[in-house]
Structure 1
Amino acid sequence: MASDSQKFLEAMPFIHKLWGSPLQILIAGIVLVSLVDVSALCGIAVLVLVIPMSKHLAKRMQRFRQQHLRFTDQRVRMCVELLEGIRCIKFFAWERPYLERVFEKRRSEMHWAMRESLVYGISMLVTVLAPTLAFASTLVAFSLTGSHGSFSATRLFGTLALLNALRFPIMDLGSMLASVVALRTSWQRLQNFMDHAEAGIPVAELEDQTQLRMENCTFKCLAGAEECFQLSVPTALTMKRGDLVLVLGKVGSGKSTLLQGILGEIPYSGRVAVRSGIAYCAQQPWIRNESLRDNILFGDELDLDWYNTVLNACGLGPDLEQLPYGDQTEIGERGVTISGGQKQRVALARAVYQRSCSLVILDDVFSALDAHTSSHIVSALFKGPQALLRNRAVLMASHHTSCAPEAQRILLLGSVSVQQLKPTKSDIVTRFSWQGKVQCIVGCQKDASAPQSQSSLLFEGDWLELRKQAGLLSILGHVARQQLDQ
C-alpha cells in the first residue's frame, strides 16, 4: 500500500499535463496546417499513428506491472515473516533455505520488471522519434506536391519550431499515459483494499446479564481463497455474567477461528451478538514498548489494591522482584526481554484488570505456562467465591482442563462442526481422569439437545483411544508401584 500511495504523490506535480499536452498539440497542429497547408497532414498522421502504438504498449506494460507488483508483494511479505521469526530461523540454521525462497521471488520480480522496463523503453523511443518522423514526412509531402512553391526558410524554420514545440508535449503525453496506466493499477489495488469490509465487533443490545449470543454460525477463514477453512457451529450459545465456556479441540480444529469470528475479525454467516466491553487475550501475546505497569493498565486508571490483586492472581509477583525496576521496567522489543510465559501472563493480567469489560475471551493463554503456574492462575481466576472472573462471562480456548468442572459449557470442535456439552464433575472423574499425574479431559456428557454430527463420531473414536491409553498407563503405573514396593 505504501508504494501505491507513493506513486500518486509522485504524479501530482504532472497531473495538469494530462489536459495541457493535448491542448498544446492541438494549437500547434492548427498553426502548422496554416503554414504548410495540407502537407502538414502527413506529419499529423504520423503523430496520430503514435497514439494507438503507445496505447498498445501501455496495455502490455500494465500487464507486466501487475505481475511485477504481485511478486513484489510476495517478496515483501516473505521478508516480513523472515524478520519476525529471525530468532527461530537463526536457532535452527534455516538461513539458506529461507534466503533461497526470497531470492526465488526476487528473480521472478526482476524478470517481470525487466519486461516492463523494456516495453517502457520502446514506448519512450517511439515518443522521442515521433517529431523527427513527422517533420520528415511533412517535408517529403511538401516536396512531392509542389503546388505551394518552394520550401522557403520561413516555412522551414517555422515547421521546425512547431515540431520542436510538439516534441515535449508528445513526450509528456506518452509518459503521462504510462503513468496513468501505473496509477490505474495502483488505484485498483488501493480501491480493493478500501472496499474490504471493516472488521468490527458485532455489538448489539442484549437483555440483562446476557453478554454473548450465537445462532447457526459459520465462520470462514481466508474467505475467497482457493483453500478456505470453514467452521460450522449449528448449536445456539448464550453466555451470561458468571458463565465459563471452554472451547476444546485438536490442533487446527478452529478454536482461534471461532474466537476471531466472535470478535468480527473474519467473515461469518449467521447471528452473532455481543455486548460492548470485551477483553481479548490472543494466543500470541501482544506487548507494547512500555513499562509492565502501563501494559497492564492499558490507559486505565490505577487502582492499587485491584492492581496488586491481579498481579498475584496472574503469578507476576515473583517476576517483579527479578526485573531491575519492578513494574516500571520497560518491556517489549526495545525493552527488557521477558520469556513467553511472562508475556502471556502480562497479557492475561491486562484482560483481567479491565473490570469494565464484562466479556473476557482467552485464546490458549496457558500454553506457555508450567503446570504449577497454570493451576495457581486457574484457582485465582475461576475457582471459589473469591475468583476474580466470577462476575464476568469468560470464553476460553485451551488445552488446560483443570477448570472444566467450573465450566457451564464445553464446545468440542471436530473437523467441520461443533458440539455443545454440559460438564459434570462425576462424568469427568469416571470417564476422563487418567491414573497417576496424567490428566486429560477432552469432553463431557453430550447434551441431548445437541444434534448428531460427524464430529461427534470422530471424537467418540478419540475418547476410546484415550481410554485405551489411560488403561495402558494404569497398568504400567501399577507394575511400577509393585516394583518399588519390592
Structure 2
Amino acid sequence: MAPPSLFVQNWSSPDFPSLSIISSASHWKSDHALPVYASIVSVALLLIHAFTLSEYTRPILVRLNLAKEREISPQVDSGGHIKSHGGRVIFATEVLTLIGSLELLRVSVTRVLALEGLERDAYSSLLALFAVVSPRPTIVSHHINLVLAASWTIFFARDVVPLLTYTRTPADPSHLLWHLISVLSLTAVVLPLVKPRRYVPFDPSDPMPPSPEQTASRLSLLFFAFQDATVWKAYRGPHLPLAELPPLADADHSKHLVRAALPHFDPYAERNDASGVRKQPQRHLFLAVASVFRPQIIVATLLLLSDNAATLLAPYALKKLLEYLANRDAATVNPWVWVASLFVGPLSSAIIKQQYQTLLGHSTVRLEAILTQLILKHALRIRIVAEVDSLAIAPTPPAAPSVAPSQSTSSSDESLTPPAESESDETVADEPQSKAASPSPPPSPPPPPPPPPQSKGKSLVGRMNNLISSDLQALARAAEFLQVFFGAPVMIVLTIGFLYNLLGWSALIGFVVLVAQTPLPIVFSRLLQGATKEVAKRSDDRVETVTETTSVIRMVKMFGWEKKMSERIDEKREAELTWVWWSKFYTLITMIFQFRALPFSFAYFLTRLVSYLLPALTMIATFTVYALAMKRSLDAATVFSSIALFNILRTKVAMLFMWLPNVLKGNVSLQRISDFLYETELLDKFSDNAVAHGENGINDIGFRAATFSWAREDANEGARTPSKRSFRLEIKDELLFKRGSINLIVGPTGSGKTSLLMALLGEMHFLPSGPGAWFNLPRTGGVAYAAQESWVLNAMIKENIIFGAPFDEERYKKVLDQCALLRDLELLDAGDLTEVGEKGLTLSGGQKARLTLARAVYSSAEIIILDDVLAALDVHTAKWIVDKCLVGDLVRGRTVILVTHNVSIAAPVSDFVVSLGPDGHILSQGRISDALAKNAKLELQVVEEKVAEDKAEQEVVQQTDAPKKENKGKLIVEEETSKGHLSWESSK
C-alpha cells in the first residue's frame, strides 16, 4: 500500500490552478517531504530519550558504560508553573509558539485539499502544547524548532528565493502563502532567536546565580546585548565596583574546570594502587588541549569556514554587479541582491569574527586557569629540596656560643642536611641562653660568594614563576593556531580557486610569485623559535638567581656580597638580553613580511615598501600572463574582482606570517610546561621506579631497616658536592614512635634530625636496607607539620591559625593562650585581625614560630610533627609552650614528634627520645637518660642549657609597652580608583 499524500500539493481548486497532481509514490521525493522527515527524526529522538531515562533501562545502560548515573537536580521551583519554565518571557514565547502552530494547523485544515500539511502541523502543534503544559519543556522546545525550521526552509526556498531572480517564480502561489510564511517566520525564526535560555546548573547539586550570558537569547548572544545592562550601569554612574559586575558562569569556576580537565592534562591523575600513582604515557600537551576543548575547536573551525565564505561574498558580488552593468540582458539575478551582498558580506564577516574572538578569548582564559592549577598542583609533587642551588648551601655564620664546642666540628656535615635544617645554627644563636656561653672567637675574613649554579640542580621557583606568567601569556597569544593550520590555508586555497576561475592558469603564476616570497620568513620563523627557547632558558636562570639572592639577602648584607651578587645578576641579564636582541631581530624580519611595524621607523618604511611592492609584483605578473600569454581581454569585472581577491590573499598571507611566530612561541611554552610535568624530579610516591615501602601495621609510626638519601644513585645532580650526594640517613633496626605521646628527636646540628622528619613524610628517597624494610606514617587521622622555617600566609593572624578549618571559638581561644599569643595580640590595635604581610613581614621570628605552632595545634590532626619550633623562643616563652601547650588538653592524646635543641626544657614532658649522631645514625632510643648516657656531647649541652635557664629565671625582665600606632592592622589598603567618564578631549 502506497503512503498517503500528506505533503503533496494536489491542488484542484481555483486557488491553485497551476499545480498538478503529484502521485503519492513520488511525494516522498519532493522537497515538501523535508518537514515529514524532520518529524520522523524528532519522534525517533524523543523515543530514544524516553528509553534512556526509563527507570527500567537506565541501570542497564549504566552497567554497560553507555550512560552515567542520573544526577538528581534540586527542586527548582518554589514559584509555580511559569517559574519552572524559566520565567515569564520564556513562557510567553512558548505560548506564542503554540498559537502560531495552532494557526498553521487551522490553515492546513481549511485547505481545499484537507490532508496537505495536516499531519506536519498537527505534530508541531502537539509539541508546542506539550512545551506549554510540561514543567520541563527544554527537549520538546528543541524539537519544535527542528520541525518548524524545516517547514520554513522549504517555503523560503520555493517561494522567496525565486523573487530574487528574473527567471523563476514562487512555486506555491496562493493568497494564504504569505500568511503562512509570516507565521512560520515568527514561530521558526523570530521566537527562537529572541527567546531567553533556561538556566541549567553545571552542577545540579551546587546551583549558583546564573550569569547573564547563560540566560541570554541567541540574538542577544549574537550582538552581545546581554552586556548592555552592565555598560549602561557603568555609563550612568561615576564608578562600577567589582561587586556589581555580573556573576561568573558556574561552568567557568576553577573547581569545575579542574575536575573536568585535569584527568586529561595531569600525567599523575589516575591512581594505580596504594603503593603509588601510575604515570600516564608522555604525550604532547596539545593533545590534551584538543581533547578538553574539542567542542570549542569544532565551533571555531565552523566559524572560520563561515568567515571565509562571508569574506569571499563581497568579491563575488562585485564581479556579478560589474557583469550586470556590462550586459544587463544576460542577468538572471536582480542587481539589488549583489548590492545588498556588498553590505551583508562584510557585516556577516565582522559578526562571525567577533563570535570567533569571543570563543577564543573564553577558551584561552579557561586554559590559563587549568594550566595554572596544573603547574601549582604538580609543584607539590616535586622534591624542592633536591633542586636547591648552591647558593642555598653557602657557608653559614659561625655557630652560636650556646652550642657545645664539639658540635662545631661537625660543620662539614652541615652540607649533608637540607637548607631548612642548616638554618638551625642561626635560630639557636638568637636564643637568650647564649648569654651564658663562652665568648666567640675573633671574626674571620668574609668568605667569597658561592659559585654560580652549574646544572639543572637549581631552585624551581623562578622556573615556575615564568611558567605561570610569561609562558601562559605566550600560549594566550598562540590561540590563533587554528588560523595558521586551517583558517588561513583554506582561505588561500579558496582565493586561488576563485582567481583560477577568473584568470585561468595565469592565477597560478601569481600564486607562484607569492609562494616564492615565503622561504625567507619561514627560515626566520625557525630561527625565532630557537631564539625564543634560549630567551626562556636565560630568563629562568636570571629569575632563579634573583630569587635565590633575595632569599638570603641578610647573608649577602652580612658578608658584603652586594657587588658580587649584582655582577652575577648582571651577567645573567646580559646573556638574556643577547638572545632577546636576536629574538627581536628575527621578529622584525617576519614583521616586514606581515606589513606592519612601528610608525616612522626604518622598519616602517621598509615594511610599507614591501607591502606595496610584493602585491604589485604578484598582480603585474598575473595580468601580464593573462593578457599577453593567454590572449584574453581584461574587463572591469575581471580586473576589479581580481584586485579584491589579491588584497584578500595578501592580507591572509600577511596575517599568516603574523600569527606564525606567536604559534611557534606558544609551542615552545607548551613544551616547557610538558618538560616541567614529565622531567622534574618527584617524590618517590610519584616516581616510575619508586620502591614500595609496604605499610607494616596501619597504626605504626616509624621505620625498619630503612635508608634514605636526598639524591638517587642514578640521578645526575651536577650542582651537588660529593658530600651532599653521599649523605644517608640509616635506620638499621627498628624505630617506632609512641602513639598518643610526646616523642623527641635530639642530636647535634647537621645530624639529620630534619632529614628524619622528611623521610617520615616521604620527602626523601627510600632505599630498603634488607628484606622486610618499611616506613610508615598513618595519614587517616591527619598530619600537621610545623616547619623549622616558619611559614605564614599573607593574611590575618586569625586566618593563619584557622587555616580553612571550621571555626570553634572556644578551641581558638585556648590555642591563643597555650601558644602564648594573647600578649602579642593585645599589643596590636587590630588584634587577631592584623595582617601579617608577605612572609610574616610584621612579625618577629618568635611570633611567626608560635603562629605556625598554633596552626598545627588548632588543626584536628592526630599526628603533630614539629621541627624545632622552640628555637626562636626565649626561655620563658619556651617553658610556657612546653608546660601549657605540649601537655595541655588540646594536645593530650595526640602523637607529637618534636625536633628540638632545647633538650633540658622539653625532656621532662617527653615519653620517647631518639638521639642521632653526627653521621646520620641512631645512637639511642627510649628515655632521655639513655640518650644522655650514650652521648656525652648531648649531656654537656643539657648542662649548659640548664645554667642558661637558671640565669634567665633570676633576671627580672622589665617590659614596657611601646607607644601604639593608630592603624587598623591592614597592610593592603583599598585601591584608589578614578571615577567619572573620559572627556571628549581625552578620547580624541
Q: 2:578 aligned with 1:111, yes or no?
A: yes
Q: 2:776 is matched with which residue?
A: 273
Segments of 5+ residues of structure 1 without an aligned counterpart are: 441-486
Name 1:177's counterpart in structure 2: 660
Match in the other structure for 2:617: 136
- Rounded Cα–Cα distance in structure 2 between residues aligned with 1:156 and 1:165: 14
Identify if the C-alpha distance between structure 1 residues 296 and 373 changes in structure 2 by more than 3 Å, giving closer, same or farther: same
Write out aligned runs for 1:467-486 (5 A).
Answer: none
- Are residues 248 and 74 of structure 1, via their aligned partners in 2, closer, same or farther at CA, if it must alter by over 3 Å? farther
Note closer, same or farther for the CA distance 1:227–1:172 as it changes in structure 2 (3 Å cut): same
Task: Tell me: CA distance 1:319–1:262, structure 2 relative to 1, closer, same or farther (3 Å).
Answer: same
- Report what 1:419 is aligned to: 922
Q: 1:36 to 1:348 in 2, by over 3 A?
A: same
Q: 2:878: which partner in 1?
A: 374
Deviations 1:349-387 (A, max 9, x none): 332333x3221111121221224433443455567xx68
- How far the C-alpha of 1:170 sits from its partner, in A, is 0.6
- The residue aligned with 1:445 is none
Letter in 2 for 1:227: A
Alignment of 1:345 onto 2:850: yes
The answer for the alignment partner of 1:391 in structure 2 is 893
Cα 1:36/1:387, change in 2 over 3 Å: closer
Pick aligned residue for 2:630 from 139, 142, 148: 148
Matched residue, 1:357: 861
Answer yes or no: is the 8 Å Cα contact 2:477–2:663 preserved in 1. no
1:23 deviates by: 1.2
1:302 maps to 808
**Which residue identity lines up with residue 333 of structure 1 in the other structure?**
G
For residue 242 of structure 1, give the secondary structure of its aligned residue in structure 2.
Answer: coil
* Residues 206 and 320 of structure 1, relative CA distance in 2, 3 Å threshold: farther
Residue 673 (structure 2) pairs with residue 190 (structure 1): yes
Aligned mates of 1:428, 1:6 — CA distance in 2: 57
Could you tell me how far apart the structure 1 residues matched to 2:751 and 2:633 are?
85
Deviation at 1:47, TM superposition (A): 3.2
CA distance in 1, matches of 2:741, 2:767: 25
Which range moves more in the overlay, 151-160 or 388-397? 151-160
Cα gap change, 1:35 to 1:200, in 2 (>3 Å): same
* 1:284 matched residue in structure 2: 789
Q: Would the alpha carbon gap of residues 198 and 32 (structure 1) be closer, same or farther in structure 2, given more than 3 Å must change?
A: same
Aligned to 2:329: none
Corresponding position of 2:718: 226
Hey, what does 1:476 align to over in structure 2? none
Distance 2:917 2:889 in 1: 27
1:224–1:255: structure 2 CA closer, same or farther, 3 Å change rule? farther
CA distance in 2, matches of 1:197, 1:212: 25
* 2:796 pairs with 1:262: no
Structure 1 CA distance, aligned partners of 2:775 and 2:633? 83
Q: What TM-score, normalized to structure 2?
A: 0.38
CA positional deviation for 1:116: 0.7
Number of matched residues?
A: 434
1:67: how far off? Answer: 1.4
Greater alpha carbon shift after TM alignment, 263-272 vs 46-55: 263-272
Q: Deviations over 1:40-59 (max 9, x none)?
A: 44433343344444333222
Q: Does 2:834 correspond to 1:330?
A: yes
Alignment of 1:197-212 (within 5 A): 207=697, 209-211=699-701
Q: Root-mean-square deviation (CA), in Å?
A: 4.3
Residue 316 of structure 1 and its aligned partner are, at CA, apart by 3.6
Equivalent residue, structure 2, for 1:462: none
Measured against aligned partners, the alpha-carbon deviations of 1:168-211 in whole angstroms (never above 9, x if no partner) come to: 11111112221211111111223344556987999998747434
Q: Which has the higher contact order (CA 8 A, sep 6+)?
A: 1
TM normalised by structure 1 equals 0.72
Alignment of 1:59-78 (within 5 A): 59-78=526-545
Q: State the 1:253 CA deviation.
A: 5.4
Question: What residue identity is the alignment partner of 1:401?
Answer: V
Take 2:931 and 2:536, find their aligned partners in 1: how far apart are those partners? 55
Amino acid at match of 2:757: L
Identity %: 29
Tell me how far apart the structure 2 counterparts of residues 177 and 13 of structure 1 sit (CA, whole Å). 9
Q: Which amino acid aligns with 2:895?
A: A
| One-letter identity of the residue aligned with 2:854 | A
Q: Which residue of 1 aligns with 2:591?
A: 124
What SS does structure 2 have at the residue aligned with 1:283? coil
- Indicate the SS of the match to 1:422: strand
Q: Which has the higher strand share?
A: 1
Query: Aligned to 1:216, which of 706, 712, 715?
Result: 706
Letter in 1 for 2:590: S
CA change 1:105–1:315 in 2 (3 A) is same
- Name the counterpart of 2:646: 163
- 8 Å CA contact retained: 1:245, 1:411: no
Residue 200 to residue 363, structure 1, CA distance change in 2 (3 Å): farther
Q: Aligned residue for 1:241?
A: 739
Structure 1 residue 115: Cα displacement: 0.5
Deviation at 1:219, TM superposition (A): 4.4
In structure 1, how many angstroms separate the alpha carbons of the residues matched to 2:942 and 2:741? 30
Q: Deviations over 1:107-164 (max 9, x none)?
A: 3222211101111221232455488447536745876895423774666656544332
Q: Is the 8 A contact 2:788 2:869 kept in 1?
A: yes
Q: Provide the residue aligned with 2:598 in structure 1.
A: none
Provide closer, same or farther for how the CA distance between residues 88 and 381 of structure 1 changes in structure 2, counting only shifts above 3 A.
same
User: SS of the residue aligned with 2:737?
Assistant: strand
CA gap of 1:413–1:59, structure 2 versus 1, over 3 A, is farther
- For residues 303 and 372 of structure 1, the distance between their equivalents in structure 2, rounded to whole angstroms, comes to 27
CA distance in 2, matches of 1:435, 1:27: 86
- Gaps in structure 2 of 5+ consecutive residues: 1-467, 596-609, 687-692, 769-773, 947-988
The answer for the alignment partner of 1:444 in structure 2 is none
Structure 1 residues 190, 163: closer, same or farther in 2, change over 3 A? same
CA 141–123 in structure 1, closer or farther in 2 if over 3 Å, else same: same
Residue 204 and residue 424 in structure 1: after superposition, are their counterparts in 2 closer, same or farther (change >3 A)? closer
- Call closer, same or farther: CA 1:351–1:6 in 2, change over 3 Å: same
Distance in 1 (alpha carbons) for counterparts of 2:941 and 2:802: 42
Cα 1:267–1:152 change in 2 (3 A) is: farther
- CA distance in 1: counterparts of 2:861 and 2:622, whole angstroms: 84
Write the distance in 1 (CA, Å) between the matches of 2:829 and 2:707. Answer: 48
Greater displacement, 30-39 / 358-367: 30-39
